[in-house]
Structure 1
Amino acid sequence: MPSFPPRPATADAAFGRPERGLRLQMYTVIFEADTRAGRLFDLALIALILASVAVVLMDSMASLHARHAGLFRALEWIFTAAFTAEYVARLACVRRPLRYARSAFGIIDLLALLPTYLAILVPGLYALIDVRVLRLLRIFRILKLTEYVAEYGALGQALAASRRKIMVFMSFVMLVVVVMGTLMYVAEGPAHGFTSIPVGIYWAITTMTTVGFGDITPQTDLGRVIASVMMLLGWGTLAVPTGIVSAEFTLQRHQHAPTTRTCHECLSEGHAPAARFCSDCGAPLPVWRHEVSDSA
């Protein structure tokens, strides 16, 4: 039996696209960003996410919290209500809501709701858990941006395509810092702050990454030679992952970006803008509504 390369996962295949009715209209707006309504929906959510994160940041400042605590609390409830409605709408318009709830985007959506409701459902939460924990959960709303900004998807695809090269590179870096950290431990010893091999590895990492906190520095001539080699390695090391990911970005730039246009026969999506027939079943494709809305 012939084997074919796996198709990229799409919302249609993973969560189930409704075939007709109100749920299909909701699905088109929420999941298909090529439509005018879908773009407006995404822009509105991006504005809400940025506004909610800004409120969290301002609420963490003691001076602003003392003067505007009531306003921040009211805004937090408005944001929570909006994100709750979005989460419920996403679950309602897909045929497999449990699968969406367990997906990465579903978990991020849930994290955007938890803090406000936890403060109500769990008595004494503020006494048991530092309020900074709730702020941490609320700040996770910034992760929702990855669902609406296409460039985040391009970055994720470039990193995924480069993962093997990056893993090999990271393995080489770990090998270098372990060897050089051990050499520094032998050359300097506890008398100069290198009390163990892990401490030497810590120094090697901070030196290779050009951070150089300065809390541990070599004192002997041999130690300074090792440090010089580590600094030179650090310059060359930083350029390697940048080149790997940049090459993947260049490759993606020359490829045609897929759309969310969906075949009405087999419900597959990701067809090129100029495609007239479905690449899976051969059925005629609907007009790309993004082009229609732009020309209108």
Structure 2
Amino acid sequence: MTPPPSVPDHRAPWRRWLGDLIFGLSTPAARNYDKVLIVLIVASVVAVMLESVSGLPLLTRQGLRWAEWVFTVLFTLDYLGRLLAARRPLRYALSFYGLVDLLTILPSYLSLLFPGTQYLLVVRALRLLRVFRVFKLARYSDQAALIAEALQASREKIIVFFISVLSMVIVFGTLLYMVEGPQHGFTSIPTSIYWAVVTVTTVGYGDISPKTGLGKFIATLAMLSGYAIIAVPTGIVTVGFQEAREARRGRVCSQCGLSKHDTDAQFCKRCGENLPG
């Protein structure tokens, strides 16, 4: 199997060096760069969350605000560096990570015109996805693909299950609205459906509860139904996992005998032989 021709690199030497530093992981400097970047991202997200806490001293709040601008400047330099170092800057800018990198700096600048938008900076947590690259967790991507295949294979069952649960909470909510009424906190059918969702999912906030005997009987049925359906989605996804595993095991290379190929793979990843359809 002939490998695809490599794309010629016409970047200047300093751009190649910068690209190896920012995008690469082959050198200690590149790995350390990404690790420092992750530390800055975590610190920035924590600063944004702390800034939203009421009752902080004015000096602390001002310090967090200054720290946020320091983080914004550093992330802006990182974003500009990625644009300069990328082989195809436009392709990077329109990619998932490129858009996330842009969104992590925009709220700070927008807050100068629209106060309050700086709290959108928690989107920086998305940049922590780079941890999979930094700490070489890409080897788990095959298992992530297996989860995606299992969910894809179970999507119809999950949709039916969701519709069934939705119908159940609507029925229980409507019944409680009719039995209890506004005088016991069930002021509307949507409010009663909220109670039914909380009850069936076994969360049980307790902010609304039935007071009459019939209402308590219906609530008991709702709670028992919630426990009864807990195992249903687990079983659905388990069957999906089994089907996905069987599909992978069925794709065995006739040349070297390697199994566990991706479902859309056309060639063996060990020897390059055509896989059976």
Separation (CA, whole Å) in 2 of partners of 1:17 and 1:54: 41
Cα 1:47–1:237 change in 2 (3 A) is farther
Residue 140 of structure 1: how far off its partner (Å): 1.8
State the match for 2:194 in structure 1. Answer: 202
State the match for 2:99 in structure 1. Answer: 107
State the match for 2:266 in structure 1. Answer: none
TM superposition score normalised by structure 2: 0.65
Cα 1:172–1:95 change in 2 (3 A) is farther
State the match for 2:81 in structure 1. Answer: 89
Separation (CA, whole Å) in 1 of partners of 2:233 and 2:24: 33
Q: What does 1:128-167 align with in structure 2 at a 5 Å threshold?
A: 129=115, 131=116, 133-134=117-118, 136-149=119-132, 157=145, 160-161=148-149, 162=151, 164=155, 165-167=157-159
Q: Which digits, 9 at most, give the CA deviation of each residue in 1:244-269, with x for residues without a partner? A: 668889989xx9xxxxxxxxxxxxxx
Q: Pairwise CA RMSD of aligned residues? A: 4.0
State the match for 2:221 in structure 1. Answer: 229
State the match for 2:164 in structure 1. Answer: 172
Letter of the aligned partner of 2:226 in structure 1? Answer: G
Residue 104 of structure 1: how far off its partner (Å): 3.4
Separation (CA, whole Å) in 2 of partners of 1:70 and 1:18: 49
Partner-residue secondary structure (3-state), 2:102: helix
Any gaps of 5 or more consecutive residues in structure 1? 1-15, 256-274, 281-296
Separation (CA, whole Å) in 1 of partners of 2:44 and 2:176: 48
Letter of the aligned partner of 2:128 in structure 1? Answer: L
Residue 64 of structure 1: how far off its partner (Å): 4.8
The answer as to 2:9 corresponding to 1:19 is yes
| Alpha carbons 1:17, 1:95 under 8 Å: kept | no
State the match for 1:7 in structure 2. Answer: none
**How many pairs align?**
236
Cα 1:67–1:170 change in 2 (3 A) is same
Residue 113 of structure 1: how far off its partner (Å): 0.6
State the match for 2:253 in structure 1. Answer: none
| Alpha carbons 2:83, 2:92 under 8 Å: kept | yes
Residue 239 of structure 1: how far off its partner (Å): 4.4
State the match for 2:203 in structure 1. Answer: 211
TM superposition score normalised by structure 1: 0.62
| Alpha carbons 1:177, 1:205 under 8 Å: kept | yes
| Alpha carbons 2:41, 2:127 under 8 Å: kept | yes
State the match for 2:50 in structure 1. Answer: 58
Any gaps of 5 or more consecutive residues in structure 2? 1-5, 249-268
Q: What does 1:107-126 align with in structure 2 at a 5 Å threshold?
A: 107-120=99-112, 122=113, 125=114
| Alpha carbons 1:53, 1:142 under 8 Å: kept | yes
Letter of the aligned partner of 1:144 in structure 2? Answer: R
Counting aligned pairs with the same residue, the percent is 43
State the match for 2:39 in structure 1. Answer: 47
Separation (CA, whole Å) in 1 of partners of 2:80 and 2:60: 30
| Alpha carbons 2:51, 2:65 under 8 Å: kept | no
State the match for 1:267 in structure 2. Answer: none
Residue 204 of structure 1: how far off its partner (Å): 0.8
Letter of the aligned partner of 1:107 in structure 2? Answer: L
| Alpha carbons 2:45, 2:124 under 8 Å: kept | yes
Q: Which digits, 9 at most, give the CA deviation of each residue in 1:72-112, with x for residues without a partner? A: 34422321122112212333333443343334333321221
Letter of the aligned partner of 1:52 in structure 2? Answer: S
Separation (CA, whole Å) in 1 of partners of 2:208 and 2:17: 62
Separation (CA, whole Å) in 1 of partners of 2:238 and 2:172: 29
Identify which range, 95-104 or 203-212, moves more after superposition: 95-104
Identify which range, 225-234 or 189-198, moves more after superposition: 189-198
Cα 1:181–1:112 change in 2 (3 A) is same
Cα 1:194–1:119 change in 2 (3 A) is closer
